[in-house]
Structure 1
Amino acid sequence: MKSNRMVLVFFILILTLWGCEEEKANKEVKTHGAYTENNVAQKMDKEDKNNEKTAKNQDDNNSVQYFIEEEDFQKFAKKGLNPFGQEKKQINLSSTDFEYYIHGMTHQKVKAKEKWDFFEMHPKRIKWLLEGLEKTKYKLGPDKQKYREILKRWKQKDFSTIVEDHNFIWDENEGTVGKATDRLSQEDEREYLESEYEMMHHFK
């Protein structure tokens, strides 16, 4: 009789331990499932935000209306000038030149208290500068890669870091006034372009 009771107690103990292990396993599965679901939700939320940002950039860029015309570039070429309307050749582009042209193109897209120099941002100009990085006779040092990164983004019509792009050049030149604080809206960018071209025609 005593041995039977011991067997019964032992059997109950085994069942109890098995039940505890199963409950623990179920909790771990539920916890892992909740953790996985949370991670998936966060990842989807991040992807949605990135897609929204990309869509906004595409919407902005699809509506770009260039003020400079193909006829202007043809006139530059006939006069032996580069796409910026200047005599500088790709083989003679220095770091100062790259900063000058890149900085001038950022101005139509950023908010800043002061702006000097202006060149309308255009695919032909971006392409010309990218080619110039490979053709120039000057060693541009570590900044060469930064110029390439900026211009490649612009070539893809990605202006999401335009404020940082402007301020990189601004910092390189130890600027004290005119730091970019934000990106211009489409309407403000258009107004800026209109005012710059109106001024250029006024002084012709």
Structure 2
Amino acid sequence: MKVNEAIHNMSHQKVEASVKWDHTEITQEKVDRLLAVCKLNDYKYKELYISILERWSKGNFSYAVEDSHAIWEMQGGEESRNAGRATRLLRSEGEQAYIENN
């Protein structure tokens, strides 16, 4: 799985969006593994990936909407359609419901 897909799929756990195509539950192990991979490779968006994953590694998801937008746009998300665009952070009960249903 590509790094940008993994980050975007994990962001779905933290954000509200009209459409969420895939999901990957966020765990400390997954975040730390992706962070290590990013630091070892020369990806085009390496600095963005590391910035997101370092925050997430510390449990800081306050920018998850912006993180999701950055990856969504990188993947070709269309601003005019807004399908799949994150609109807000989920509250803890919304996040728990998302985890339980996926």
TM over 0.5: yes
- In 2, the alpha carbon distance for the partners of 1:181 and 1:151 equals 20
- In 2, the alpha carbon distance for the partners of 1:193 and 1:186 equals 11
- Give 1 or 2 for the bigger CA radius of gyration: 1
- In 2, the alpha carbon distance for the partners of 1:110 and 1:151 equals 16
RMSD (Å) for aligned C-alpha atoms: 1.1
SS of 1:120's equivalent?
Answer: coil
As a proportion of its length, which structure holds more strand? 2
Matched AA of 2:88: D
- In 2, the alpha carbon distance for the partners of 1:153 and 1:188 equals 21
Runs of 4+ displaced beyond 4 Å: none
**Higher RCO, Cα 8 Å, sep 6+:** 2
Identity of aligned residues (%): 37
The match for 1:140 is 43
The match for 1:179 is 85
SS of 2:19's equivalent?
Answer: coil
- In 2, the alpha carbon distance for the partners of 1:185 and 1:158 equals 14
SS of 1:181's equivalent?
Answer: strand
Q: TM-score, with normalisation over the residues of structure 1?
A: 0.46
Q: TM-score, with normalisation over the residues of structure 2?
A: 0.91
The match for 1:104 is 9
- In 2, the alpha carbon distance for the partners of 1:119 and 1:178 equals 16
What pairs with 1:1-204 in structure 2 (closer than 5 Å)? Answer: 97-136=2-41, 139-141=42-44, 143-176=45-78, 177-196=83-102
User: Which runs of 5 or more structure 2 residues have no equivalent in the other structure?
Assistant: none
User: Which runs of 5 or more structure 1 residues have no equivalent in the other structure?
Assistant: 1-87, 89-96, 197-204
- Cα deviation for residue 133 of structure 1 reads 1.3
The count of residues paired between Structure 1 and Structure 2 equals 98
As a proportion of its length, which structure holds more helix? 1
